[in-house]
Amino acid sequence: MKKYSDPPSGQQAENKAPKRVTILDVARAARVSAGTVSNALSGKRQVDPETRARIDAAIAALGYVPNRAARALRHGRSNLIAVCSSMPWQVAGGSSRLGFLMEVVAAVAPVALRHGIAVTLLPAEAEAEGFLDRIALDGAIVIEPLREDPFLRALRAQALPVVVIGQPPVPDWVHVDLDYPAVTRLLCDHLYGAGARRFPLLTGQEDRVVHEETIRAYRAFAAERGMVPEVLRLPEAAGEAGSAALMTERLARRDIDAVLVPVDTFASGVMAAARGLGLVVPHDLRIATRYDGLRARQEVPGLTAVDLNLPEAAAHCIRLLLALIAGEGVPPATPVAPPRLIPRGSTR
Amino acid sequence: MKKYSDPPSGQQAENKAPKRVTILDVARAARVSAGTVSNALSGKRQVDPETRARIDAAIAALGYVPNRAARALRHGRSNLIAVCSSMPWQVAGGSSRLGFLMEVVAAVAPVALRHGIAVTLLPAEAEAEGFLDRIALDGAIVIEPLREDPFLRALRAQALPVVVIGQPPVPDWVHVDLDYPAVTRLLCDHLYGAGARRFPLLTGQEDRVVHEETIRAYRAFAAERGMVPEVLRLPEAAGEAGSAALMTERLARRDIDAVLVPVDTFASGVMAAARGLGLVVPHDLRIATRYDGLRARQEVPGLTAVDLNLPEAAAHCIRLLLALIAGEGVPPATPVAPPRLIPRGSTR
DNA sequence: TTGTATGCGTTATCAT
DNA sequence: ATGATAACGCATACAA
């Protein structure tokens, strides 16, 4: 008896062509028709126990394993969805492997798996290399798209079911609303409540819808409170170091008492800049970020952040996507529970 | 002219059955045969410019998009590989979304993408739910398998090309050797060199090959130096909190001057325990971990860790896997560059 | 340069 | 309960 930990036969340079075993081979060996074998496997039709035994024996003897590509063709389902982010891998996966893409994948994957579908990751490069027409997908989730997002364009061209998580460029796209305006408002109010009277917003430079929404909400808050708004933008790829450099310069002017930094990588940079200038957080400078990831939790002091209810959002995404795949109609916008502030040392 | 940011028509509950456009429809519209359309698309044969124009027009008019499942069947390639980890998602993706699975994916995905193949994540649950026979895979990478790994068993049953990253249960599996014994040795030597004379090893409890190798190397080191070896094991799922609890108790005895904690999540727990007891790292207690992730870098002080050369390992994995998929023979073991210590404050 | 025919492996439909 | 047949959509060998 072979143990499963035996080396895989045929992986070495043995020249035996593996010659795939088909359902027809099994059928022949069991002296039945292919259709019967198929039914035995799927259980969609009654099959004589004795016949079944012969089939099982044949399957075991031949080592038959169904061809998934053929099934996918037949069923019109690949059981695979993509999670797309128009951020380059450098940013999305990140040198710290901590991008929002990974976060969303981490939230989406288990839900998807529970529904019998697997998840593949598609960063910006994938679109460029035309991955959407290389692999068989049942649908896709697009994270925080750009205003003119190549993934959305390509997905629509493919007529694939799509759910956007975050802000879609136009509200007609089926999307799960993370309500970034509310999130921004929450953070602004918190900073203000903590005593901050002048704080710039530091965010990404790309033409991402989420940035627009955030900036809009920030400006609205500033107008309301009579605070002078200041929006600093930095290329996403600049990362922690870029943020630290920019903010070291900005903080040197000593005219602000807090910074609102939605992107957590940038927030780390601001922390570094503050340290470099000898500023004590939160005493000399308060910092609040949006995404409550490992960075926010591990910084010293911890970064005040927001619980975006990602698991719930992910569950919605999958539910919606499955409905779309099934051809059912769904409402374009699905709300998640209101964002919840997670106050930490950085604003206390 | 429609802008691509328009809402996707048909996503709403319009009852129009989308009726897939096939290559044959295009052929008819362009008044050519299906084969010609196919060739025009693939460019594998010369096609008259004028015919080509008609075809292109038809494609555009009908919105034809090739069926990937059919191609996969035809070509015998799905352009998809899986990265499998027998760790449950809870641990692999982690509440901190920072498990080694994510790390490896982050390293593997860009390389794979560059070779035209996408990557899907399969945590332990996926095996249980039989995902390996739900999706069409060209091959798989298995991370730090268990001694009796269900993924390896299933993959062999499917006769799928497999590359193990880490320690395979038997050396015949094609694998990329991260050389954990050397890594362990490196850390032990470093701790010893930093003055530590008694340090337990805290690692995971599962029947994972990497743990065995690590423990073996640790014991060898202890024997050599005349240090009393002490191996503490904790269920992987216990996480940071479990580690903190266990080590709070252990550290209270005040008879050790360092801890070797390969699993970075556990290392965070040890740091927390030390803080709780008022122990100053590294003065009262030195800590070294293996995996140099965000945790190691963000802890205060930073955790001494090891550069495992993951990007290089990932590149090897893909290269080997592609070779196996192409039916070429490959050596069972591929080494990566020697591990390099990254000394940080936790052992200084 | 283009058309025709066949097969990839599976499953659904119809017949027995 | 089972068998025969067609079809899923594409790409190739071969013929023209």
Q: Average pLDDT in the B236-249 region?
A: 94
CA-based end-to-end distance of chain A? 65
Predicted model pTM: 0.92
Q: Do residues B147 and B118 make contact, with C-beta atoms less than 8 angstroms apart?
A: no
State the DSSP string of B50-104: HHHHHHHHHHHHHT----HHHHHHHHT--SEEEEEESS-HIIIIITTS--HHHHH
Q: What pLDDT sits at residue B105?
A: 87
With a CB cutoff of 8 Å and minimum separation 6, the contacts of B250 are B200, B232, B256
Q: Is the pLDDT of residue A335 over 80?
A: yes
Tell me whether residues A118 and B135 touch, CB distance under 8 A. Answer: yes
- Work out the pLDDT band at A98, boundaries 50, 70, 90: low
Q: Give the closest residue to A185 by CA, choosing from A6, A341, A22, A26.
A: A341
Residue A133 CB lies within 7 Å of the nucleic strand D: no
Q: Give the closest residue to B210 by CA, choosing from B104, B303, B281, B107.
A: B104
Q: Average pLDDT in the B131-153 region?
A: 94
Does the beta carbon of A51 lie under 8 angstroms from any beta carbon of chain B?
A: no
Tell me whether residues B79 and A119 touch, CB distance under 8 A. Answer: no
Q: What pLDDT sits at residue A38?
A: 97
In chain A, pLDDT over 90 holds for what percent of residues?
Answer: 80
Tell me whether residues A7 and B170 touch, CB distance under 8 A. Answer: yes
With a CB cutoff of 8 Å and minimum separation 6, the contacts of A59 are A26
Strand partners, A84: A122, A142
Q: What pLDDT sits at residue A11?
A: 42
- Work out the pLDDT band at B3, boundaries 50, 70, 90: very low
Torsion of CA B108, B113, B118, B123, to 10 degrees: 20
Does the beta carbon of B109 lie under 8 angstroms from any beta carbon of chain A?
A: yes
Does the beta carbon of B295 lie under 8 angstroms from any beta carbon of chain A?
A: yes
Q: Is the pLDDT of residue A280 over 80?
A: yes
Mean pLDDT, chain B, rounded, equals 91
Closest Cα of chain A to B223: distance in Å?
31
Give the integer Cα–Cα distance in Å for B278 and B284. Answer: 9
Q: Is the pLDDT of residue B97 over 60?
A: no
pLDDT, tens digit, 9 for 90 and up, residues A127-163: 888 999 899 999 999 999 999 999 999 999 999 999 9
- H helices within B146-227, ranges in order? 150-157, 180-193, 209-225
Mean pLDDT, chain A, rounded, equals 91
Residue A341 CB lies within 7 Å of the nucleic strand C: no
Give the nucleotide nearest to A33 (CA→C1'). D3
Q: What pLDDT sits at residue B18?
A: 61
Give the residue whose CA sits closest to D9 at C1'.
B70
Residue A171 CB lies within 7 Å of the nucleic strand D: no
Specify the range with the lowest mean pLDDT, choosing from A336-345, B123-132, B196-205, B321-330: B123-132
- Work out the pLDDT band at A104, boundaries 50, 70, 90: confident
Q: Is the pLDDT of residue A198 over 80?
A: yes
Q: Do residues A336 and A179 make contact, with C-beta atoms less than 8 angstroms apart?
A: yes
Q: Average pLDDT in the A307-335 region?
A: 96
Q: How far is CA B77 from CA B88, B116, B161, B254, in A?
A: 28, 11, 12, 59
Protein footprint on strand C: which nucleotides are under 7 Å from a CB?
Answer: 1-5, 7-13
Give the integer Cα–Cα distance in Å for B205 and B235. Answer: 5
Other beta carbons within 10 Å of B85:
30
User: Which residue among A113, A147, A294 places its CB closest to the CB of B96?
Assistant: A294
Token duo for residue B149:
């790994």
Q: Is the pLDDT of residue B96 over 80?
A: no
pLDDT, tens digit, 9 for 90 and up, residues A252-262: 999 999 999 99
Give the residue whose CA sits closest to D13 at C1'.
B35
Q: Average pLDDT in the B170-185 region?
A: 96
pLDDT, tens digit, 9 for 90 and up, residues A287-306: 999 988 888 988 989 999 99
Give the integer Cα–Cα distance in Å for B267 and A308. Answer: 27
Does the beta carbon of A115 lie under 8 angstroms from any beta carbon of chain B?
A: no
Torsion of CA B98, B100, B104, B105, to 10 degrees: -50
Strand partners, B231: B201
In chain A, pLDDT over 70 holds for what percent of residues?
Answer: 93
pLDDT, tens digit, 9 for 90 and up, residues A9-27: 444 334 445 678 999 999 9
Tell me whether residues B133 and A169 touch, CB distance under 8 A. Answer: no
SS3 B296: helix
Tell me whether residues A136 and B7 touch, CB distance under 8 A. Answer: no
Q: What pLDDT sits at residue B1?
A: 34
Token duo for residue A134:
């290389």
For CA atoms A40, A43, A46, A52, give the dihedral sign.
positive
Q: Average pLDDT in the B44-73 region?
A: 95
Give the residue whose CA sits closest to D5 at C1'.
A35
Does the beta carbon of B73 lie under 8 angstroms from any beta carbon of chain A?
A: yes
- Work out the pLDDT band at A2, boundaries 50, 70, 90: very low
Q: What pLDDT sits at residue B8?
A: 44
Greatest Cα pair distance, chain A, in angstroms, is: 86
User: Which residue among A82, A156, A298 places its CB closest to the CB of B299?
Assistant: A298
pLDDT, tens digit, 9 for 90 and up, residues B270-301: 999 999 999 999 999 999 999 888 889 889 89
Residue B42 CB lies within 7 Å of the nucleic strand C: no
Q: Average pLDDT in the B237-262 region?
A: 96
Q: Is the pLDDT of residue B2 over 50?
A: no
In chain B, pLDDT over 70 holds for what percent of residues?
Answer: 92
Q: Average pLDDT in the A40-66 region?
A: 95
Q: Average pLDDT in the B210-225 region?
A: 97
Does the beta carbon of B133 lie under 8 angstroms from any beta carbon of chain A?
A: yes
Q: What pLDDT sits at residue B210?
A: 94
Residue A67 CB lies within 7 Å of the nucleic strand D: no
Cis, bond preceding B123 (omega within 30 deg of 0): no
Q: Give the closest residue to A299 by CA, choosing from A92, A96, A94.
A: A96
Q: What pLDDT sits at residue B231?
A: 98
Tell me whether residues B76 and A69 touch, CB distance under 8 A. Answer: yes
Q: What pLDDT sits at residue B102?
A: 80
Tell me whether residues B118 and A119 touch, CB distance under 8 A. Answer: no
Mode of pairing for the β-strands spanning B231-234 and B201-204: parallel
Spanning CA of B288 to C1' of D3, the rounded length in angstroms is 67
Tell me whether residues A137 and B68 touch, CB distance under 8 A. Answer: yes
